[in-house]
Chains A and B, each alone.
Chain A
Amino acid sequence: MAHEHHHDHDPHAPVNEAHGMRPDSVLLERALRELLIEKNVFTASEIQRQIELTESRNPELGARVVARAWVDPRYKARLLEDAKAAIESLLGIDLNLTPDLIVVENTPQLHHVICCTLCSCYPRAVLGIPPAWYKSPEYRSRLVIEPRAVLAEFGTALADDVEVRVVDSTADTRYMVLPRRPRHTERMSEAELVALVTRDSMIGVTLVPEPQP
């Protein structure tokens, strides 16, 4: 393995040479993948297609959903009622094979923030690959033990009268936060709103920043 160990940042490096992965897990992944191909469980091109699909998912999808919900109350109602159907119809993507999805709305009285204490469940269908900190044991344990302190470390100070609700993605559903629409955005177009929505605000660790004047 040693001769294949990359320390530079080669953008064309194979996906299994990811930085920060332990060499034994890289080896395990490769052995498992080659065995599954050899046993005809799936083909190399099917794996490649799945990697491409996974990489095509990114937080801009979630941002488009949020912006539409901000400008269209009827869409928002559908989104909160049946998130998968509302997202499929807006984005034209197929969520048939992805876990069920629930969108939780942040309001002036209630602030949701999501985590997965058991592993790293994340709304990949609309936010893509989770950030490393989301998967860290520190975030996963501390968010349910001292959520206001964790939020403060993200720079998110909430008033005492705002209920903080930590949503632990324990089972068959994934959660995405519909963040509050910031002030001074009344005249912005839907496209401008999309650009304003951040990944972290859809996890609930931050608020959507007000636009710069």
Chain B
Amino acid sequence: MKPCFAPGDPVRVRFAEPPGHCRTPYYLRGKRGVIERLIGTYPNPEQLAYHRIGVPYQPLYQVTFGFDAVWGRTEHNVTISAAIYQHWLEQSE
């Protein structure tokens, strides 16, 4: 897969509950953040977990979330940063 997000792009983590292994923490699903940078492109861990080769490889981004966007309450000057695969991200306004 080609990277389709750039640093500064607002994104939303998809809310989904696929069966099996995945590396998208529940507390970030459906939450809005901003692309910090592209980390690289990696085999899809959701397939690697079941002995598949993980194609198509997925771009992996460092995404920063405001604390209130994640928890709906304010904690002074706190952000959360996580690595999220592209197939879990969609454009946000």
Contact = CB atoms under 8 A, between A and B. Distances in A.
B82 A100 contact: no
B25 A118 contact: yes
* Chain A binding surface SS class: mixed
Interface size class of A (residues with CB under 8 A): 20 to 34
Interface size class of B (residues with CB under 8 A): 20 to 34
A172 B79 contact: no
A170 B80 contact: no
A161 B64 CA distance: 18
Contacts of A100: 39-40
A144 B77 contact: no
Given A146-B75, A163-B78, A172 B83 contact: yes
Contacts, number: 69
A170 B23 contact: yes
Contacts of B25: 117-118, 168, 170
Contacts of A172: 39-40, 42, 45, 60, 83
Contacts of B83: 169-173
Contacts of A117: 25, 27
B39 A163 contact: no
B24 interface: yes
A171 B60 contact: yes
A164 B23 contact: no
B76 A148 contact: yes
Nearest to A104: B81
B85 interface: yes
B15 interface: no
A144 B66 CA distance: 11
B87 to A, nearest CB: 12
Given A165-B81, A166-B81, A170-B23, A145 B39 contact: no
Contacts of A167: 81-82
Given A102-B39, A170-B25, A171-B23, A160 B77 contact: yes
A164 B24 CA distance: 22
A169 B79 CA distance: 14
A165 B23 contact: no
13 contacts: A117-B25, A148-B75, A148-B76, A162-B77, A166-B80, A168-B82, A170-B24, A170-B83, A171-B42, A171-B45, A172-B39, A172-B42, A173-B39
Given A147-B78, A172-B39, 10 more contacts: A146-B75, A147-B75, A164-B78, A165-B64, A166-B79, A167-B82, A169-B83, A171-B82, A171-B85, A172-B45
Interface of A: 100, 102, 112, 117-118, 144-148, 160-173
